[in-house]
Amino acid sequence: MDSQIKQLHQQLMNKEISCTALIQEKLDLLKANTNNTVNTLLDSLALELATKVDTKIANGEPIGLLEGIPFGIKDVYMLQGTYTTASSQLLKNYKSAYTATAIQKLLDAGAIPIVKENCDSFGHGSSSENTIFGAVKNAINPNLVGGGSSGGSAVNVAKDYTVFSIGGDTGGSVRQPAGYNHVYGLKPTYGRISRYGLMAYASSTDCVGPIAKSVEDIRIVLNVMSGKDVKDQTTYASSEITKETISNAEGIKTVGYFKNFIENEAIDSKIKADFLDAIEKIKAKGIVVKELDFFKSDILVSTYYTLAMAETASNLSRLDGSNYGHRIEDKNLKESYAITRSENFSEETKRRIVGGNQVLSQGFSDEIYLKGLALRDAISENFENDFKEVDIIISPVTPSTPPKIGDSLKDPLAMYLSDAYTVGFSLGQLPTLTVPQGTETGLQITAAKNNDELVLKFANFLKDTI
């Protein structure tokens, strides 16, 4: 199987390259890049860690598979002593006091963090334009958006600035930019990887997600970060996924797709045609393909944003300039809170806080919030029934191609609808992987809860099929 991680590991062990030279090459590429993917370069830390790896190799000591491999971190993860800005004005000078569990596991395995990556502020957006560091430009066409909210992470992988990056997926924030930039991006089963140290956007759907150029690299990184964490009570113990178990598609007999996604008027005609062509190629391999009924995409979007905005309003209520972030003083405490939040949050973040407070406000919570929770339960039940009929569900990642930079900011509703095909799987807390095949923005592969292995297995099958 293709794997940049394994290839670089072998080159390091054979002394064909030094770790210091590898890290310096990536830092130089990041520094010179014009795609606006960098919030902070971690050059001093990275080169210090690289020297230690080179010393081990020079002394003839073995190194682990991830040891010396450069990676990027979406700027919403804590890494002790580094700036963690969430691409926001409010936290632009905030330094992490501790390290996120997922990132610590990668550090323990010897991987080297080289960059904190640009993203939509607090993860609020689908284009990576809501950021104080400049709109992230698409890796294939710089006139288009990089996708959001993990746009900087996806572009860095696509441009080979990092070997892999760690994004965060709430309603599609890893999968959509992965599709826009033609790389792999995984949202694992909710709870498989600890969220401790990831800035909370919508706690019930936030997931740590790796982005890479191959299924094998996704598998390697996923295994390292997975596992129960006493600091995150939603986590669970999971088994290691081996290379052998995902090497063929044996056991996958039936695949389903939602016909209302494909018969939707909003889907781009080329994406629809390419998706149906992919279905025919899967059928030709002897796999049974079934049409499935599902909620209309506008119901998925409205349910997701109802719950996500409510959780956003709650999670961001702590950011008032007292304990975190840039405080602006005014005539009294109340006014200081107001002006600090008004001046430092982006328009998109304020829009979501206002919407969330409306959802949670007295007199509306029964009518709006509880209805949203009931719909989420119904969506999960629908998925459970679907997976009694099929092994895998595939779908386009997005209904349309990436917009031009600036267009999403003019039309927030259109931006929300670009998430129509990703948010449902987030509400179901299901493992879903974007693969860069099938349509211009890729395909999504989804399995039942805790079946991340099946997702990777089918991705390998698709790689050789379409």
Q: Mind telling me the catalytic residues?
A: 74, 149, 173
Burial (CB count <10 Å: 0-12, 13-18, 19+), residue 284: exposed
Burial (CB count <10 Å: 0-12, 13-18, 19+), residue 119: buried
Which amino acid appears at position 182 of this protein? H
3-class state of residue 229 by DSSP: strand
Alpha-carbon gap, residue 418 to 172, rounded angstroms? 10
Q: How far is CA 252 from CA 237, 248, 390, 393, 461, in A?
A: 25, 9, 9, 11, 10
Q: What is the DSSP letter of 353?
A: H
Residue with the two structure tokens 């957006």: 125
**Nearest-CA neighbor of 451 among 209, 169, 188?**
188
Alpha-carbon gap, residue 49 to 226, rounded angstroms? 23
Q: What is the DSSP letter of 121?
A: G
- The residues near 389 (Cβ < 8 Å, ≥ 6 apart) are 254, 256, 290, 292
The answer to whether 73 and 117 are in contact (CB under 8 A) is yes
First to last CA, the chain: 17
